[in-house]
Amino acid sequence: MDELSEILVNQARKLVSVVELKGWSVVLALEDGEWKVESLQQLINCEVVVRSDAKVQALAKEVGAELHQIFADGWAIGWDDRFPKGQRLQQALLFARFSQHDNLYAHPLDFVPVIDSLARKVVHIDFPPSWKKKSGGDVELPVSTTQPQSLSDESFSVANRARIPPPLTTHDFLHCTVVQPEGVSFKMKGHVLEWQKWKMHVEVLYCPPSPTTTTGQLRPILYRLSIVEMAVPYGNSAFDSGEYGMGSLANELSLGCDCLGENPLLGAIAFCTVPGAYVTLVQPLLIKNAICIHEEDAGVLWKHSDFRPGGRSRTVRSRRLVVSMVCTAANYEYIWNYYFYQDGNIEIEIRLTGILQVYVAGLDEPTPYGTTVAPGINAHYHQHTFSVRVDPMLDGLQNSVIESEIVGLDAPTGSNENFAGNGFVIKDRILKSQVEDGARDFNWASERLSYAIMMKGAVLPLLEKPDSWIARRASFAHKQLWVVRDEEGPKGSRIFPSGKYVPQTREEPEDSVGKWVKEGNGSIENEDIVLFLTLGTTHIPRPEGWPVMPVEHVGVLFKPSSFFTSNPSMDVPGIKDSQSRPVFNTNNANGQHTNVFDGTACCAN
């Protein structure tokens, strides 16, 4: 119990909250004489609380929403100096649903209740002010500051705007079948998965893979590979992993929709996925079919054609193994795909879909910080920042990170060293000091290990001010690459970059990556190290993303670099797919190169 700084007891519900540093972790609640677990039910309770409030009912009715039509997404309040630190709060983002399966996000309400989660009551109602156009084309607020309104019963009058009713507009190819007649190429024993030359242990967002070499020797690559945190800096920011526990938000996947082809669907048991989660689970939560495993075609793996008369051609198609799960965080869906390739590549791909976070907009109201995606619907600009934890184990626990800079030669064109002017070289530097080298701005062309990190398209600059609320809570987002020594101890190793206890933190926790990197002057050369990669996307909404967003892709690729002595996929056979057929009949190659004289396709000639 030495890590506990305070225990608070709510007398009304006999609820014990355990507080470490400046964060919360709800453990148990005594209700009706029984200790019960706080879970996702707490988010549903938010909806119950606001529906039960007479003032909320009246305000909703004023803009055309009846009691049974009120729905709320409960969001943990991260930073709000208007309330005491010891008060456990949620802000209720309100929507109206006018029919059973109506898209409630198409009908946002124009006020935001704040509830006390323990007392189960509404403690305040915010009315965000509306923007107005000025004569010169600029925009302004009808209030003097963007600071949150003071706690007052006159919050509506302070907003200095009219009520805004919710928008009432509603939104009302040939089949492709994946078959594997000979079955799958992978096998499972418990949670151990083997495929091609890969062997790994699969759990919720946890895949430590090891490939075999062409000699059959098993070589470790990673002890653990996982997505450990994400931050979405809306006005008050959201930590979908640290505040809610991403594992507990996993979907029960459906064969034929979420997963195609021949594959096993694995259940998941979520044990307090994030120790400080807002909906901490003390008892295990069983989620059926949370993990999907399947194989899929990944295009051409390698190919070469001898252009000379009588020359041969060979095409080898790539197959990849996919380990995936899907999590729903209120309006958003996150699809987590782990890809394993026959050439030794490992890829994490994050797909973002679901429904945009929106707010009601007045008639002709400008939206300087969002996009009008439909009449009366303002979708906010925002970023998604993810932290990927890489615990390397390249042939052992002791590893180093090498920064390789590709530079042109200093010698001028015409010189003996660079006569044609086209010379360039690689300059290597080993990252040695945790304090001096542990926090890096990622240069996509210069970071590499024996497995190179490729994240050019996913590098995301944090657009918020360095002293902003989100920047002070999510220190991991300041740099794209963090390298720290892994400290194993009674409390476990270094896992969570924003600390174990995230909800309602107002500063950077002591147990976070921004603090770890400043500790002492420890070496990170040839040590047991952990890497935290920061990647993400800046989301500028567009009408084409409404009412449901098509997926957006964010990813990082781990590519072997001098780990193997040659192409590890050279033994993949060039198998001709007997089910492939031409759509249009033609006997004329039109002068194009073909593998054999009759024009038929062949993978190995």
- Active-site positions read 240, 332
Token couple for 213: 């070499």
- Among positive and negative, which fits the CA dihedral 9, 71, 283, 78? negative
Type of residue numbered 166? P
188 DSSP β-pair partners: 193
Type of residue numbered 522? G
Which residue shows structure tokens 């993978």?
603
Of 335, 253, 261, 246, the residue nearest 295 (C-alpha): 261
Backbone torsions φ then ψ of 68, nearest 5 degrees: -70, -10
Distance CA 602, CA 314 (A): 8
Which residue shows structure tokens 């899929």?
296
Distance CA 409, CA 419 (A): 11
CB burial of 509-530 (b: ≥16 within 10 Å; e: otherwise) equals bebbbbebbeeeebebbebbbb
Distance CA 536, CA 555 (A): 8
**Helix 41-51 vs helix 54-62: crossing angle, to nearest 10:** 70
Distance CA 284, CA 273 (A): 10
DSSP-H helix ranges across 228-280: none
Q: Are 94 and 115 in contact (CB under 8 A)?
A: no
What contacts 517, CB < 8 A, 6 or more positions away? 434, 435, 438, 439, 482, 483, 484
Distance CA 362, CA 68 (A): 24
Backbone torsions φ then ψ of 312, nearest 5 degrees: -100, 160
Task: Please tell me the number of Cα atoms within 13 Å of 372 on its side-chain side.
Answer: 12
